Structure 1
Amino acid sequence: MTQPPGFIDPSQPSYVCKLNKALYGLKQAPRAWFHRMTSFLLSVGFVQSLADSSLFIFRHGVHTIYFLLYVDDIVVTGCDNQLLQGFIAGLGRGFDIKDLGPLHYFLGLQVSSHNNGLHISQLKYAHDLLVKHDMLLSQPVSTPMFAKANLTATEGESLANPTTFREIVGSLQYLTITRPDIAFAVNSISQFMSQPHAPHLIAAKRILRYIKGTLDHGLSFIPQRQPVHLSAYSDADWAGCPDSRRSTSGYLIYLGSNLISWCSKKQPTIARSSAESEYRSLAHASAKTTWLGFLLYELGALIQFPILLYCDNLSATYMASNPVFHARTKHIELDYHFVSEKVALGGHRVNYVPSVDQPADLLTKPLHKHRHLLLRTKLVRSAPPSLKGGVRENNAVTTI
């Protein structure tokens, strides 16, 4: 180590300051830790995933181990329990770890297994969030936003202390990991973090009231027979933002019947037509499914090709396969070439889906109660009944 500039003692040039702060607080500590763990895993036969650098895969004959690392929190699973326990024992000799057994709680995610698969939720996290902001006794609502909500950057009085609003929004952003049904509402209020007004805080508290009534909702994963289809539903709300007139893109990606990825995001530029906004959303979904295809291949999952992309805009579906439209789409040339190339190679296929059957509609605009409840059933479900109580914190190794 070397002394920081300005702190060198001329009489003791070789001396350095005593480090009182914990090592993991240094800027280079995460990189050094990841390098050490990666070196160990590679030395024992693991291969680092090309799609996700935090995923490591070990294959020995017909046996496989998956090792997922998040700083010092680890999930490890495999198809052979004896091989898995041997690896955990070897890991314990090189690192100070604690085996917490089957996966129940990880980074705020609660995992419960049942006869039909897994259910992942953030029930404890959501409960603590309501308690923190005194909303536990609030009256629940059916939707996270009013159907005709139209939040703007200038409406209402500015908040004297915006800290509470920012804390709520930051917490809600983490909650969207297992709650895609609030993704659009959280995305909407996140756009006013710099100068929030009173209507924005009211909208944020409405989301908390909605969570109050759906505390146990989360993602359900049901085992699928391989090979399965990887499919995506993309949608866009053209010029939906009243301030910038930018569109909001949304997509849902399913592996078989299981929802595995989603996004609700404002587009970076203004779209000149609804077809253009829908096509850009289609390009984002196509890029995400391409990445997921590589990840699933590394995991050994068998998927059917082509990957199916569903869009409720006929013009966008025609542009994906008809080069005659190219002259009218020069301003979205990159997106056009990306999607059309995927379709031409046979890796993707764009299909039309009626708007009434478009689940991604929930990620692009606020909906009425009945429409919201209908589409919510395709995204999240309530936790199955269980007699188990409590959760276990996971700080090191967890096995499934």
Structure 2
Amino acid sequence: MEQPPGFIDSRFPNHVCRLRKALYGLKQAPRAWFQRLSNFLLHQGFMCSQADTSLFVFHKGACLMYLLVYVDDIILTGNDEASISRFTASLHKEFAITDLGNLNYFLGLEVTTTSNGLFLSQGKYATDILSRADMLDSKPVSTPLSTSDVFLSTGPPFSEPSYYRSLVGALQYLTITRPDISYAVNQASQFLHAPTTAHFQLVKRILRYVKGTLNLGLRFSKPPNMSTVGYSDADWARCIETRRSTYGYSIFFGGNLVSWSAKKQPTVSRSSCESEYRAMANTASEIIWVTHLLRDLNALPPGRPTLLCDNLSAVFLSQNPVAHKRAKHIDIDYHFVRELVSSGKLHTKFVPTKLQVADIFTKPLARPLFEEFRDQLGVKPPPVSLEGGVIEFKIQIMLTT
């Protein structure tokens, strides 16, 4: 801590104050708080996940407990109620905490327990966005973007760029439980520095779609199998101005969507095969991270994950180690997908375009196909019948520093 103005020691003007206790608001406070909590959890027998440093896992015999930390908010779950009660009691002794009971609301996410799983939604958060945009009474639309909508940098500038950034930033957080708007929000996010009036009109269309689908959310059900499947897709030269491709992926564990993305590739691809191959490499890296996380959770399935792509050339390129003259310019780091395939850690397969779920992350789709892929992603209305119980035993705890 630097010496505050007016209290500088004239004998040692370059000395600094020794920090004995982290005060709220200091730059060191978050690190010091997390270190304090981590030391306590490690002393209690928890292990910090290597895939996600905010996740702590306790595994002793048949007892499993998962603890997820976000600043001073904690989610705790496990399969042994007695162990959870003992740990919660020790947590009470060490910190001033408030036990909020069964998990139902966390960081804007609404959690509803069903008879065979969970339902995650952000209905209240989405309503707040519409209220901020004064669009609670707007007319709903069936898709976030029409098939003819294109984001271009030309046109008259929007008069309130900060308002545009605020709305797009709020929509970005909404994609946590609404992957169906990921592509549209990604396109709108590329023009935050200089939005135009046309851009704002397209953002309003996204909001009109959200207005008509406020009740949608992600469903998670007990999986019939524990397989990991990823879908990878790319739309070659999608961007008219830069000719860079847009790629997307969706990763399912036990039939439940656990990871997805919609992004523009950083470089121009010379062919559709190249853009699809780059997308496969990025998806493969995410699948590897998911497998590491599952291993930390003691839930890693025995079989190898499968990566599905609708481009035969890209699938062949991932399985064939022979260098081709059209692929020799591709960066070496993208070829690690070949090593995964050859070592048996990953299986790549072809999937027809009509079954390519990741297509929803690369381009605007017509309503029938959009709704079909949205349903396959698990974005659905809340279940009709809800139960008050929980799957195992869930506690939400708020810590006050």
Contact 2:99 2:397 survives alignment (8 Å): no
- When normalised by structure 2's length, the TM-score is 0.92
Equivalence for 2:121: 121
Going from structure 1 to structure 2, the CA distance change for 1:275 and 1:13 (only over 3 Å counts) comes to closer
Equivalents in 2 of 1:387, 1:231: separation in Å? 29
Deviations 1:193-224 (A, max 9, x none): 00000010011111111011111111111112
Deviations 1:363-390 (A, max 9, x none): 000111111111111121111135799x
Matches within 5 A, 1:133-172: 133-154=133-154, 156-172=155-171
Equivalence for 2:383: 384
Equivalence for 1:55: 55
Going from structure 1 to structure 2, the CA distance change for 1:344 and 1:15 (only over 3 Å counts) comes to closer
Equivalence for 1:184: 183
Contact 2:231 2:356 survives alignment (8 Å): yes
Q: By how many angstroms is 1:310 displaced?
A: 0.4
Deviations 1:112-132 (A, max 9, x none): 011121111111111111111
Equivalents in 2 of 1:334, 1:113: separation in Å? 46
Equivalents in 2 of 1:262, 1:12: separation in Å? 55
Deviations 1:54-105 (A, max 9, x none): 1111122210111110110100011110110110110111111111111100
Give secondary structure in 2 for the equivalent of 1:83: helix
Contact 2:47 2:56 survives alignment (8 Å): yes
Contact 2:122 2:177 survives alignment (8 Å): yes
Equivalents in 1 of 2:209, 2:14: separation in Å? 61
Equivalents in 1 of 2:387, 2:200: separation in Å? 36
Contact 1:247 1:277 survives alignment (8 Å): yes
Contact 1:248 1:364 survives alignment (8 Å): yes
Going from structure 1 to structure 2, the CA distance change for 1:196 and 1:395 (only over 3 Å counts) comes to farther
Equivalents in 2 of 1:110, 1:116: separation in Å? 17
Equivalents in 1 of 2:254, 2:198: separation in Å? 40
Give secondary structure in 2 for the equivalent of 1:8: coil
Contact 2:57 2:66 survives alignment (8 Å): yes
Equivalence for 2:273: 275
1:239 to 230, 237, 240: 237
Equivalents in 1 of 2:270, 2:224: separation in Å? 43
RMSD, aligned α-carbons:
2.4
The reply to whether residue 216 of structure 1 matches residue 215 of structure 2 is yes
Matched residue pairs, number? 389
Unmatched runs of 5 consecutive residues or more in structure 2: 389-394
Equivalents in 2 of 1:326, 1:45: separation in Å? 52
Equivalence for 1:92: 92
Equivalents in 1 of 2:74, 2:95: separation in Å? 12
Q: What residue identity is the alignment partner of 1:51?
A: A
2:227 to 226, 229, 234: 229
Contact 1:67 1:75 survives alignment (8 Å): yes
Contact 2:52 2:293 survives alignment (8 Å): yes
Equivalents in 2 of 1:222, 1:164: separation in Å? 38
- When normalised by structure 1's length, the TM-score is 0.92
Equivalents in 2 of 1:325, 1:229: separation in Å? 32
Moved more, 295-304 or 311-320: 295-304
Equivalence for 2:76: 76
Give secondary structure in 1 for the equivalent of 2:268: coil
Equivalence for 1:396: 398
Q: What residue identity is the alignment partner of 2:177?
A: T
Equivalents in 1 of 2:14, 2:302: separation in Å? 64
2:368 to 367, 370, 380: 370
Equivalents in 1 of 2:78, 2:387: separation in Å? 25
Q: What residue identity is the alignment partner of 1:373?
A: E
Deviations 1:213-265 (A, max 9, x none): 11111111111245x21010000011101111111110000012111100001
Q: By how many angstroms is 1:163 displaced?
A: 1.6
Equivalents in 2 of 1:222, 1:353: separation in Å? 24
Matches within 5 A, 1:233-382: 233-379=231-377, 380-382=379-381
Equivalents in 2 of 1:382, 1:117: separation in Å? 14
Q: What residue identity is the alignment partner of 1:49?
A: S
Q: By how many angstroms is 1:44 displaced?
A: 1.3
Going from structure 1 to structure 2, the CA distance change for 1:231 and 1:7 (only over 3 Å counts) comes to same
Going from structure 1 to structure 2, the CA distance change for 1:73 and 1:193 (only over 3 Å counts) comes to same
Unmatched runs of 5 consecutive residues or more in structure 1: none
